[in-house]
Amino acid sequence: MSQIVDRPSSAGTKAFLVGVHVGADTAAEGRSLLEELGELVWTLGLPVVGTMLVKVTGLQAAYFTGTGKAAEIVELAKAAGAGVIIIDNQITPGQQRNWEKLSGLAVIDREEVILDIFAQRARTMEARLQVALARAQYSLPRLTRAWSHLNRQQGGGLGGKGEGESQLEIDRRLVRRSIEKLKAELTVVRSQRATQRKRRQRVPLPRASIVGYTNAGKSSLLKKLTGADVFIEDKLFATLDPTTRRVDLPNGQTLLLTDTVGFVRRLPTRLVEAFKATLEEAVLAEFLIHVLDASDPEVYAFHATTMSVLHELGADEKPILTVLNKVDRLAGNEVLLPLKRHFPDALCISAKTGEGLDELLHRAAELLSDHPAVVELLLPHDRGELLSLLHRHGQVLSSAVEPGGMRVQAVVPPRIRPKFDAFILPAKPAPKPRAVRKRRVPAPASGR
């Protein structure tokens, strides 16, 4: 008879990791993905007590590996004292049940690890709702696992429904109801966010999004450029919720810069869909800043993964400014030269030391050379024709009469910008971020 298997928790549970490379996949790629799974599991707070890389010619229906190899993995995991086996591949609900029946341990896959990390780290209401929705959709086909101890009880005569089947149907109904409720709540939150975006667009500042593989240094770059008080940690998925800050470019233009969620290989499709809210900033931006960790030997694979996800979002055709970050970690040019040959237009920077950031800001200004700029002007009282010119070809956002002239905030198109350069007021320094008391965000309602 099958048994209920407790789900892993970070308190004392040890993990045994299983990597898989299939067919044409190389062992090196399999090892790299297995190492990345180890980092994900560490982020989740589970100690790793053993790993095993398995080569299979074709995925088997019962376990994805052969029965003998599955038994060998279970024996090694138990000998290492593991409480959970984590498989670096997407497994079906049936395969998950088979593994747990064979081992008596909890068995999860890469997708469930990422879902748990997202659940721990989501902060905004929208992100938490999206995580709850993704987890509910993931768990729905797996509910039979939780009630396998009852599914042999057949009371009620021929065709009658046993206790297990009845409870399973109730649980499925509750989860489906929860999914519908979460979707409705998300619709409301997205509507509110769309309203907020319209308010921001009344002052049409250009936008750029920082994208890249997780842990490439995106949040560190945002902090260095803008002084933003953002959370930074040397872990995968340290940042989930988008953060937007203003940065002043060398030409006096103001840019809104957004840090987005990082990508990983084998990112589950449902999570790409679930996090469209944070990733859609990339779709709405005028250009993207693609951050690569120049010190990571897998930098080429990480670049390909990010470009693949951007393609799914329809954002890969936007202007992309590629930057090679963490060059301060490189021993010398022998490492950097191959990267420069592969990414000839990339900028070499260090978000830690500030190296190359001035050039990055100048390149950003060049990309926006044709974009109307929002500037603050002090026009002399006797230059009324300039104010008329702004009304005809630009957009006046606000105006006020002062003793020294007319103070005007306006959107100035590039073709008439030279006429106003002499009257542009210097940008005010950005205020230092104040320490704000964090408001607890209530967790979304669960299906149970």
Classify residue 439: in a domain, yes or no.
no
Spatial distance between the Cα atoms of 118 and 214, rounded to a whole number of angstroms: 13
Spatial distance between the Cα atoms of 371 and 322, rounded to a whole number of angstroms: 20
Within this chain, do residues 415 and 356 fall inside the same structural domain, yes or no? no
- Structure confidence by residue, pLDDT tens digits, 265-282: 877 766 766 656 556 666
Report the CATH number at residue 109. 3.40.50.11060
Classify residue 314: in a domain, yes or no.
yes
Spatial distance between the Cα atoms of 219 and 216, rounded to a whole number of angstroms: 9
Within this chain, do residues 332 and 387 fall inside the same structural domain, yes or no? no
What is the bridge-based pairing of β-strands 405-412 and 106-109? Answer: unpaired
Within this chain, do residues 102 and 170 fall inside the same structural domain, yes or no? no
Spatial distance between the Cα atoms of 425 and 409, rounded to a whole number of angstroms: 10
Spatial distance between the Cα atoms of 182 and 188, rounded to a whole number of angstroms: 10
Within this chain, do residues 179 and 300 fall inside the same structural domain, yes or no? no
Range of the domain at 166: 122-152+162-197
Spatial distance between the Cα atoms of 209 and 257, rounded to a whole number of angstroms: 6
Percentage of the chain exceeding pLDDT 70? 77
Classify residue 10: in a domain, yes or no.
no
pLDDT tier, 80 (very low <50, low <70, confident <90, very high otherwise): very high
Q: Which has more pLDDT, 7 or 121? A: 121
Classify residue 392: in a domain, yes or no.
yes
Within this chain, do residues 188 and 274 fall inside the same structural domain, yes or no? no
E strands, 129-284, in order: 207-212, 243-248, 254-259
- Picking from 326, 351, 367, the residue at the C-terminal end of a domain is 367
**Number of domains, the chain:** 4
Within this chain, do residues 111 and 174 fall inside the same structural domain, yes or no? no
Residue 112: what are its φ and ψ, rounded to 5°?
-70, -35
One-letter amino acid for residue 94 of the chain:
G
Say how many Å lie between the first and final Cα of the chain, rounded: 25
Residue 423 CB coordination number (10 Å) = 17
E strands, 134-278, in order: 207-212, 243-248, 254-259
Within this chain, do residues 146 and 66 fall inside the same structural domain, yes or no? no
Within this chain, do residues 232 and 246 fall inside the same structural domain, yes or no? yes
Give the residue-averaged pLDDT of 411-421. Answer: 86
Residue 377 CB coordination number (10 Å) = 23
Within this chain, do residues 136 and 44 fall inside the same structural domain, yes or no? no
Classify residue 407: in a domain, yes or no.
yes
Residue 100 clears pLDDT 70, i.e. is over it: yes
- Structure confidence by residue, pLDDT tens digits, 340-399: 999 999 999 999 999 999 999 999 999 988 777 788 899 999 999 999 999 998 888 889
- Structure confidence by residue, pLDDT tens digits, 14-54: 999 999 887 656 788 888 889 989 988 988 889 999 999 99
Classify residue 86: in a domain, yes or no.
yes
Give the residue-averaged pLDDT of 405-426. Answer: 88
Within this chain, do residues 187 and 102 fall inside the same structural domain, yes or no? no
| pTM > 0.75 | no
Classify residue 432: in a domain, yes or no.
no
Spatial distance between the Cα atoms of 203 and 104, rounded to a whole number of angstroms: 59
Q: What is the pLDDT of residue 415?
A: 83
Q: What is the pLDDT of residue 335?
A: 76
Q: What is the pLDDT of residue 75?
A: 96
C-beta of residue 19 within 8 angstroms of C-beta of residue 31: yes
Classify residue 142: in a domain, yes or no.
yes
Within this chain, do residues 243 and 217 fall inside the same structural domain, yes or no? yes
Within this chain, do residues 342 and 219 fall inside the same structural domain, yes or no? yes
- 402 to 374, 381, 428: CA distances (angstroms): 20, 9, 18
